[in-house]
Amino acid sequence: MKYNLRTLVHRTRWSAVVATGIVLTACGSQSGLNRESQDSLAIQPAAAAPSAPIKVNQIGYSVAARKVAIVPVDDVASAASKFDVVRVTDGVTVFSGDLSAPLFWEFSNETVQQANFSGFREAGSYLVRVAGVGDSYPFEIGDTVLGGVHKGALKSYYLNRSGMPIEAQYAGQHARAAGHPDTAVIVHESAATKARPAGTILSSPKGWYDAGDYGKYIVNSGISTYTLLTAYEHFADFYQTVVLDIPESANQVPDIIDEIKWNLDWMESMQDLDGGVYHKLTLKRFSAMDVQPSDEHGDRYIIGKSVTAALDYAAVMAVASRIMRGFETQFPGLSARYKDNAIRAFQWASDNPTALYQQPDDIKTGEYGDKDASDEFAWAAVELFLLTKDRRYFGEFLKHDVVPSGDLSWPRVAVLAYASLINGAEELLSDQSYAELSGKLIAAADTQVKVFTESAYAVAAEASDFEWGSNSNILNNGFLLLQAYRLTGDTKYRDAAFSTLDYVLGRNATGYSFVTGYGDLTPLNIHHRPSVADATPVPVPGFLAGGPHTGRQDKCPYPGDQPATNYADTVCSYSTNEIAINWNAPLVYLLAAKNDLD
């Protein structure tokens, strides 16, 4: 399909939910609706667009960025040799280049060519065209083009808050009443102690809903909150400029810190008197999909205590303590309290190293089970070492002998230990020790660079990434690669890292920009209860859909059987189209890096 200027002008299918809550509709292409706007909550499509044959980052590229489009090849023998970059406003070809040789991508079972237009550095609105193939979706080139999607991805946490009304002043058409105050939750027998027997009523308010359901889970909050804290720690100057338009925006604290604190307040309430940490807070089973938070009134339970919950909690509290030292005036005593929380949780975990989570028979909500806590021990030990400077914690890290690899996700957190060490421990370690640890991280990143350079889709994605939450796995490869770039300054790591952003924003085999509300073809039917239950025809914006893989745990119909194409934009597809706080976190981190470094 070719999108000429006339087609672009008459694509009347956009609605923008601006920060004031006013709903606007506009005619024209999405690129013409200022997709990089710092003021809009999101650009929301009213109906699914037809897929464009040439795949690009549908939001756009910074002026100096590596820019690659993916062109399908139907017949290798007659594959095209040239491509053009066309200016949207007047249809003029502004750049032409040679296509790569045909390349086969096993994960989509297709042959493609790469169109590299990195040398073109003129700001504006463009598309890529190949004679006989068609056009890409339009995209922007400019130094602030990813600012809007970053704000949307971060603001999604506000829109997923538990325990408060989400007001139209801040959320527009996605406003909703408060739900789940969680001021009277029940201690389940799996979490009972002598001091707090089963049936004890506790208060555990605030926090973020974890995913498509209304549960709150410590393990998944661990990696999510850490990644956002690390985004602030690494790009603090950038976050002084980011205003999300949330209720706390006028309080002289960066909005990302206010948002993180909302979840930290809940996490604190999940620590037991003995220092252990409850695993989760949920109903006994999931509610129906069409129930808003304010309409779900079933009993909610604090369930289980686990070594992994305690260690994830300890790691996050240690990082938060370190960062909150800089906000002692605004939050007096908070840093010290977080430090105490972290130390007590780590001690409980050390005293209960085999206390892995076991799902009770009467509980049917998400398990977040993990049969190996060695990486969590190592990560928590590193964070406490950096916080306290007590070398006993570094010894605990060494004892568990974990190695970073390109498989970062909530049950595999070794990369987080190394990321923190490399960023904060140089002055605490000998030159030899620091070099050895750095070498392990670089080796893991080099593996991902090799994957990136050999990929037909020019992305750091390998077979093991295509599982539940594949988009997050691929972005977490980018997180690892960015740590190598920060350590070495070598742009090969930076290019490979940012390839993962291009992938989730449209340069993938499905053709979707997987962030709701951002791009020309974005998910409309995410597995997310507030989006299903409200009266709005478009989903809550800024959420990253899980992405393709062949697990099909939900038994829903899918369009194909390839790991990189097996995706369905249906509510049924919780295995590919759910959202989750841990999936959004690396998206926020990488977009912050992109905005800061560019």
User: What's the mean pLDDT when you consider all of the chain?
Assistant: 92
pLDDT bin (cut points 50, 70, 90) of residue 22 is very low
Catalytic positions: 527, 569, 578
pLDDT score of 34 more than 70: no
pLDDT digits (tens, 9 = 90+) for 108-127: 999 999 999 999 999 999 99
pTM of the model: 0.93
In the prediction, which pLDDT does 15 show? 27
pLDDT digits (tens, 9 = 90+) for 489-538: 999 999 999 999 999 999 999 999 999 999 999 999 999 999 999 989 99
Closest by alpha carbon to 459, among 472, 468, 450?
Answer: 450
Q: What does the pLDDT average to over 283-310?
A: 97
In the prediction, which pLDDT does 279 show? 98
pLDDT bin (cut points 50, 70, 90) of residue 51 is confident
pLDDT score of 168 more than 80: yes
Rounded Cα distance between 553 and 556, Å, is 8
Quote the tokens at residue 471: 């988009």
pLDDT digits (tens, 9 = 90+) for 562-577: 999 999 999 999 999 9
Rounded Cα distance between 493 and 499, Å, is 10
Percent of the chain with pLDDT over 70: 92
Q: What does the pLDDT average to over 279-284?
A: 98
Q: What does the pLDDT average to over 361-375?
A: 98
- Give the dihedral of Cα atoms 76, 77, 81, 87; nearest 10 deg: -60
pLDDT score of 348 more than 90: yes
Quote the tokens at residue 338: 């977080």
3-class secondary structure for 34-73?
Answer: CCCCCCEEEEEECCCCCCCCEECCCCEECCCCCCEEEEEC
Burial 301-326 (b: 16+ CB within 10 A, else e): bbbbbbbbbbbbbbbbbbbbbbbbee
In the prediction, which pLDDT does 25 show? 24
Phi-psi region of 126 (alpha: psi -120 to 50; beta: other; left: phi over 0): beta
pLDDT digits (tens, 9 = 90+) for 387-427: 999 999 999 999 999 999 999 999 999 999 999 999 999 99
pLDDT digits (tens, 9 = 90+) for 242-274: 999 999 999 999 999 999 999 999 999 999 999
The domains found in the chain, sorted by start residue, are 178-489 (1.50.10.10)
Greater confidence, 547 or 36? 547
Phi-psi region of 34 (alpha: psi -120 to 50; beta: other; left: phi over 0): left
Helical residues (DSSP H) of 455-563, grouped into ranges:
470-488, 491-504, 529-533
pLDDT bin (cut points 50, 70, 90) of residue 449 is very high
pLDDT score of 50 more than 70: no
In the prediction, which pLDDT does 304 show? 98
Rounded Cα distance between 266 and 208, Å, is 9
pLDDT digits (tens, 9 = 90+) for 207-218: 999 999 999 999
In the prediction, which pLDDT does 19 show? 30
The CA angle 150-152-154, to the nearest 5 degrees, is 70
Phi-psi region of 379 (alpha: psi -120 to 50; beta: other; left: phi over 0): alpha
Quote the tokens at residue 515: 């962030």
**Dihedral sign from CA coordinates of 228, 231, 234, 238:** negative
In the prediction, which pLDDT does 18 show? 24
pLDDT score of 200 more than 50: yes
Quote the tokens at residue 148: 């809007």
